[in-house]
A and B are shown apart, each in its own frame.
Chain A
Amino acid sequence: MWFKLALRLFKRELGRGELTIIAIAITLAVLSVFSLSSVSSRIQDSILQKSASFIAADRVLQSANALADDYFADAPLDGLKQARQITFSSMVFYNDELQLAGVKAVTESNPLRGQLVLSDTSFGKQTRLKGAPPRGEVWVSRRVIDVLDIAVGNELEVGAAKFKVSGVLIEEPDSGFNPFNQNPRVMMNYADVPMTEVIQPGSRITYRYLFAGEEEKVKALTDWVEPQLLDNQRWYGVKDRQSPVTSALERAESFLLLAGLLGVILAAVAIAVAAQRYCQRHYDPVAIFKTLGASSKQVRQIYVTHLIFLTLMSVVAGLIIGYAIQSVVFEMIKEFLPKPLPELGAKPFVMAIVTGVSCSMMFSLYPLLQLFNIPPLRVLRRNEGDKVKNNWGYLIASGLTVFLLMWGYSQSLKISAILFAVGATMIVILLLLSRLFVNAGRAIGVRPSNPFHLAMASIKRRVRANSVQLITFTIAIHLLLSLSILKNDIIGEWQNQLPKGAPNHFLANVTKAELTEVNQLLKQQNIHTEGLFPIVRGRLVNVDEERLIQFVSKEKEDKSDAGGRQGIGRELNMTWRSDLPLGNEIIEGQWLKPDSLGEVSVEAKVAERMKIKLGSELTFLIGAQEYKAKVTSLRTVDWNTMQPNFFMIFSDDVLADFPATYITSFHVSDKQKQPLNKFLRDYPTIMVIEVGAIIGQIQSTIDQVSIAIEFVLLIVVIAGVLVLTAQVQASIEERQQEIVILRTLGAKGSLIKNAVMLEFLMIGVIAGVMATIATEILLAVLQTQMFSMDMAIHWDIWWMGPVIGGVFVASIGLLSTMKLLTRNTSEMLRSVNM
């Protein structure tokens, strides 16, 4: 019998719109968690998969020595794809021509991620494939073809063996990106390496063991490999490599995580506000039920059934809408993603359901417990049970639920703890501030005919309720502001990094004699550059009087236990120039002047590592000669710009007499490509490196991430709007009785409307101001601590916050009041009586 009653009441409440906000809030929590965890994790998977092609694998074990045959005997390799690579530099010969080449020997499964692009001639038809050249054959890059004047079908000598050139290698995913040390590629079969007899004791060889597969399996292997890594071995994934893609990915992941967390928190706040309001509206019915003989058990059954129905309905709705949203989003961005699309999996479903159920249960629990305790006496004493007690147990339980949700969602105890602590502190500060604001209004007197005075009087009467409202408004506005600013900052910074027209070609190995022709070509084709940088190679040998320890081989490079100051371990590319290159910033000292003598500007991180200070005297070994220069400035360098960057930049006098080659980077449109290629054919020693493919990859990654970010923001905005609406509606109800009295006493609709609007406007504006302050503080912390960005004041939000707060809160308040005012007074009186 109670079930029928519960069902009937539920249907009625639903029909009357009493449950709408709470249902939407649960639905939103579910759909945001579902769509975020499915869309963002699938986009992340896709991005990872795609960017994994930058290293041709998910993880790579790089070693300076060949690993023993049984090295991986005990390793958890089941279900993982494997490939091997050996790279070394070697002279290659054709007829009497020779060229230093970067030789890469690969197994047939190479590359595990991404594809090779191969052509039958230099500019012939291109095919994408995975695999290694057949035994006895090599694939070579265009530069080998050009420099050696070799053709497909000819035989190329590598070490002691001869190989038939069977293809032109146009693109390889893991080609790396170092415009200084790019020897033209010769790719051979892994099994052919011994034939070349190139590998001798002491040779500089890099062995790479590539792995790809499901993240869990890769992780298991990581756990196995990492403890036994030697100093000359590295275990890395795409995320461990400092590239623009990596940092874009990391920021996007942090943002998605943060936004997802905030979305869930906002939805939880909306549920709590709406549940409280719903329960308060049911104090009278519960008192009536009890008076008419309902047992506590019956009351519990009725309302718990409501909650279960509501949760079930909202969770299902959330899953359906979430599924639809992620399908639409995927349909939209399908072309960006690699095929096949990663599976959806059970995780989003589980997470969404757990979030929906725990949010609805946890945040409805305390209001429900209060509802169950409403005494039947309320039917006679109308305010019996009205007084809501602070319940620390409930507060702690709610806090814990929020924290657990954050932790479960972020999988990061640290991030959750930081955000939670910041949030809790902010709420306490806001509570104090809001009391202060509200109390400040006490000084103003009351004249009932003036809407402003009525509004102030109303605010004063409800100090406690208004403080809570103010905090809710503030938090909602604050989170919305923070996320949208952060979104703009992140996307803006990416776009700044890679603007349209970012350099897509490097030109290197230009001799002094060729400078005039190159400059002429650039001028003719209207190609902009930051100028040609001269390069001289040399070693840093002394810092002040201290001799640096130089390691001859790369193997020992990372060993730092030898005592004494350690050298950089390799030759440096050094340049000289009188103007500060783009993307460089002086942080100490002064930039070189045209008349500076014997000065050097050092990149800040290298300076820190080598303990080089302003004023230090550095000694460089260039060829057989030693030169000294004094450090007069330290620079930060933005390595993400597609420009040649240098650790050491000298004053003009130091290196000018050394034979230098020149390097530059520039953007070339498709139309300009042909004249460039034609020019380059006449200068075969000039090296051109196309980075357009890499830029394309970065840009499409950024595009995807931007879509994910916009989408997440949209969901959070909806959650925020919901919180605001729930809170305004709840507070309108508190005001209903007052409005009815004013109305009954003959107050004009416009007076009531203006008073309510003003009251909400004031609360909204104050909330907006507090939200703005909180936003600046939070952004400063997040940008510097979480996103490694520079701190910036956001002047826009100083007007946006208060305006959005005021306009939004006042409009919702006004709309709800208008609804009340359209009813006739006696009808209102009747409903207030209840």
Chain B
Amino acid sequence: MAEISNLNIIQVKNLSKHVAVNDNDLHILRDIGFAVKSGESIAIVGASGSGKSTLLSLLAGLDSPSKGEIYLDGEPIHQFNEEQRAQLRGKSVGFIFQAFMLVQSLTALENVMLPAELAGKDNAKQMAEELLERVGLGDRTAHFPNQLSGGEQQRVAIARAFITKPKILFADEPSANLDGKNGHMIEDLLFELNEQYGTTLVLVTHDDKLAGRCQRILRMCDGELTEAEQGKQSNVV
């Protein structure tokens, strides 16, 4: 069971992001601040274009902010260069994407092994096999992504996300590309594993129902964090 510690695994202060579009500054995020405790699960919700994906990209160190500070696992990633951020991602972060993002030329097993191999772990294969078994794809290890259904591909992605036992898992609309039944299956799997591994979960979604499964919900509107609310179905002790 995941436990929330008092330690802030994510801390965001005065975070802004703006980009130049046709000589004008477009403000995507304005002066955002919040903290996430270790083991906590939060959902970032909001309409399309509200800035939630940008926030996710900054939190995960995929992009750098225009202003403000982000501390991930105690590390000031706003001061990091791309190399340092990649290192931190490899060590502490897992990802699940709406578009699955599997490497087409690698099998399911190899896709799951990938982060472990990049991190130089020796038992990548064994861990990957166990995880694929865990997500119900023990018999599909040798299949390539285009031989798997959408739901199956996302399960491979989930297995891949957990192989390095990350401290934080970022999930971007994990079930948006799937039908209802498959979507629910994926969501259940995600929360189960999250719980099992005690991972902090940051979930971006526009599905209030899914957001409701998180302990806390951050709502984005026009680049600002308008409210923070408690999840309805807290499964945290």
Q: Which A residues have a C-beta under 8 Å from some C-beta of B?
A: 1-2, 4-5, 8-9, 12-13, 16, 18, 284-285, 287-296, 298, 375-377, 379-382, 827, 830-831, 833-834
Selected contact of A285 from candidates B62, B63, B103, B117, CB within 8 Å: B103
Interface centre among B62, B115, B117, B146 (most CB of A within 10 A): B62
B115 near A292 (CB under 8 angstroms)? yes
Instruction: Given A379-B101, A833-B100, check contact A5 B114 (CB 8 Å).
Output: yes
Instruction: Given A5-B114, A379-B62, check contact A291 B146 (CB 8 Å).
Output: no
Instruction: Given A4-B117, A830-B145, check contact A380 B57 (CB 8 Å).
Output: yes
A379→B93 CA distance, assembly (Å)? 15
Q: Quick check: which of B80-88, B210-218, B219-227 contacts chain A, the rest being far away?
A: B80-88
Q: Whole-angstrom distance from the CB of B111 to the nearest CB of chain A?
A: 9
Instruction: Given A292-B118, A293-B115, A379-B95, check contact A9 B105 (CB 8 Å).
Output: yes
Closest 5 CB pairs of A and B: A293-B90, A12-B105, A292-B115, A293-B89, A377-B62
B106 near A292 (CB under 8 angstroms)? no
Interface centre among A290, A380, A381, A830 (most CB of B within 10 A): A380
A294→B99 CA distance, assembly (Å)? 20
A379 near B105 (CB under 8 angstroms)? no
Selected contact of B86 from candidates A4, A295, A833, CB within 8 Å: A295
B101 near A284 (CB under 8 angstroms)? yes
B110 near A8 (CB under 8 angstroms)? yes
Selected contact of A295 from candidates B60, B83, B117, CB within 8 Å: B83
Selected contact of A291 from candidates B83, B89, B119, CB within 8 Å: B89
Q: Whole-angstrom distance from the CB of A452 to the nearest CB of chain B?
A: 33
Other A-B pairs beyond A8-B106, A9-B103, A291-B62, 9, CB < 8 Å: A9-B106, A18-B105, A292-B114, A293-B118, A295-B83, A376-B82, A377-B57, A380-B97, A834-B99
Selected contact of B89 from candidates A9, A292, A830, CB within 8 Å: A292
A76→B20 CA distance, assembly (Å)? 74
Find chain A residues with CB under 8 A from B86 CB. Answer: 290, 293-296, 376
A284→B105 CA distance, assembly (Å)? 11
Find chain A residues with CB under 8 A from B104 CB. Answer: 285, 831, 834
A291→B60 CA distance, assembly (Å)? 9
B53 near A294 (CB under 8 angstroms)? no
Find chain B residues with CB under 8 A from A287 CB. Answer: 101
Q: Whole-angstrom distance from the CB of B62 to the nearest CB of chain A?
A: 5
Tell me the count of chain B residues lying within 8 A, CB to CB, of chain A.
Answer: 39
B97 near A289 (CB under 8 angstroms)? no
Render B128-163 as a binary contact track against A, CB cut-off 8 A, 1 for contact.
Answer: 000000000000000001100010010000001000
The yes or no answer to B178 lying at the interface (CB within 8 A) is no
- Inter-chain contact total with CB atoms closer than 8 Å: 102
A288 near B62 (CB under 8 angstroms)? no
B63 near A377 (CB under 8 angstroms)? yes
B118 near A289 (CB under 8 angstroms)? yes
Q: Which residue of A lies closest to B107 (CB)?
A: A12
Q: Whole-angstrom distance from the CB of A377 to the nearest CB of chain B?
A: 5
Find chain A residues with CB under 8 A from B91 CB. Answer: 293
Q: Which of B48-93 contact A (CB under 8 A)?
A: 53, 56-57, 60, 62-63, 82-83, 86-91, 93
B62 near A827 (CB under 8 angstroms)? no
Instruction: Given A1-B117, A5-B118, A377-B63, check contact A285 B95 (CB 8 Å).
Output: no
A295 near B87 (CB under 8 angstroms)? yes
Sample of 11 A–B contacts (CB below 8 Å): A5-B118, A291-B89, A292-B115, A292-B118, A293-B119, A296-B83, A380-B57, A827-B146, A830-B145, A831-B146, A833-B99
The yes or no answer to B195 lying at the interface (CB within 8 A) is no
Q: Which residue of A lies closest to B166 (CB)?
A: A293
Instruction: Given A295-B86, A377-B63, A831-B146, check contact A288 B100 (CB 8 Å).
Output: no
Q: Whole-angstrom distance from the CB of A387 to the nearest CB of chain B?
A: 14
Find chain A residues with CB under 8 A from B172 CB. Answer: 380
Interface centre among B86, B100, B106, B115 (most CB of A within 10 A): B86
Find chain B residues with CB under 8 A from A285 CB. Answer: 103-105
A377→B57 CA distance, assembly (Å)? 7
Interface centre among A287, A293, A295, A380 (most CB of B within 10 A): A293
A277→B120 CA distance, assembly (Å)? 30
Q: Whole-angstrom distance from the CB of A591 to the nearest CB of chain B?
A: 76
A1 near B120 (CB under 8 angstroms)? yes
Q: Which residue of B lies closest to A16 (CB)?
A: B105
A296 near B105 (CB under 8 angstroms)? no
Q: Which residue of B lies closest to A286 (CB)?
A: B103
A287→B97 CA distance, assembly (Å)? 13
A288 near B101 (CB under 8 angstroms)? yes
Find chain A residues with CB under 8 A from B117 CB. Answer: 1-2, 4-5
Q: Which residue of B lies closest to A5 (CB)?
A: B117
Q: Whole-angstrom distance from the CB of A370 to the nearest CB of chain B?
A: 16
A294→B95 CA distance, assembly (Å)? 14
Q: Whole-angstrom distance from the CB of B75 to the nearest CB of chain A?
A: 14
A831→B148 CA distance, assembly (Å)? 11
A296→B91 CA distance, assembly (Å)? 15
Q: Whole-angstrom distance from the CB of B205 to the nearest CB of chain A?
A: 14
Find chain A residues with CB under 8 A from B99 CB. Answer: 382, 833-834
Find chain B residues with CB under 8 A from A290 CB. Answer: 82, 86
Q: Which residue of B lies closest to A827 (CB)?
A: B146
B100 near A294 (CB under 8 angstroms)? no
A9→B117 CA distance, assembly (Å)? 13
Instruction: Given A1-B120, A8-B106, A380-B57, check contact A292 B100 (CB 8 Å).
Output: no
A1→B118 CA distance, assembly (Å)? 7
Q: Whole-angstrom distance from the CB of A400 to the nearest CB of chain B?
A: 31
B82 near A830 (CB under 8 angstroms)? no
Q: Whole-angstrom distance from the CB of A12 to the nearest CB of chain B?
A: 4
A380 near B62 (CB under 8 angstroms)? yes
Find chain B residues with CB under 8 A from A834 CB. Answer: 99, 101-102, 104, 145
A288→B157 CA distance, assembly (Å)? 11
B120 near A292 (CB under 8 angstroms)? no
Q: Whole-angstrom distance from the CB of A749 to the nearest CB of chain B?
A: 20
Q: Which residue of A lies closest to B81 (CB)?
A: A296
Q: Which residue of B lies closest to A294 (CB)?
A: B118
Find chain B residues with CB under 8 A from A2 CB. Answer: 117-118
Q: Whole-angstrom distance from the CB of B154 to the nearest CB of chain A?
A: 12
B62 near A294 (CB under 8 angstroms)? no
Q: Whole-angstrom distance from the CB of A436 to the nearest CB of chain B?
A: 29
Find chain A residues with CB under 8 A from B90 CB. Answer: 292-294
A293→B95 CA distance, assembly (Å)? 11
Interface centre among A4, A9, A376 (most CB of B within 10 A): A376
Q: Which residue of A lies closest to B58 (CB)?
A: A377
Q: Which residue of B lies closest to A12 (CB)?
A: B105
Find chain A residues with CB under 8 A from B119 CB. Answer: 293
Find chain B residues with CB under 8 A from A382 CB. Answer: 99
A231→B120 CA distance, assembly (Å)? 80
Q: Whole-angstrom distance from the CB of B202 to the nearest CB of chain A?
A: 13
A285→B100 CA distance, assembly (Å)? 12
A292→B97 CA distance, assembly (Å)? 12
A295→B114 CA distance, assembly (Å)? 13
B120 near A291 (CB under 8 angstroms)? no
Instruction: Given A292-B89, A292-B90, check contact A379 B97 (CB 8 Å).
Output: yes
Find chain A residues with CB under 8 A from B89 CB. Answer: 291-293, 376
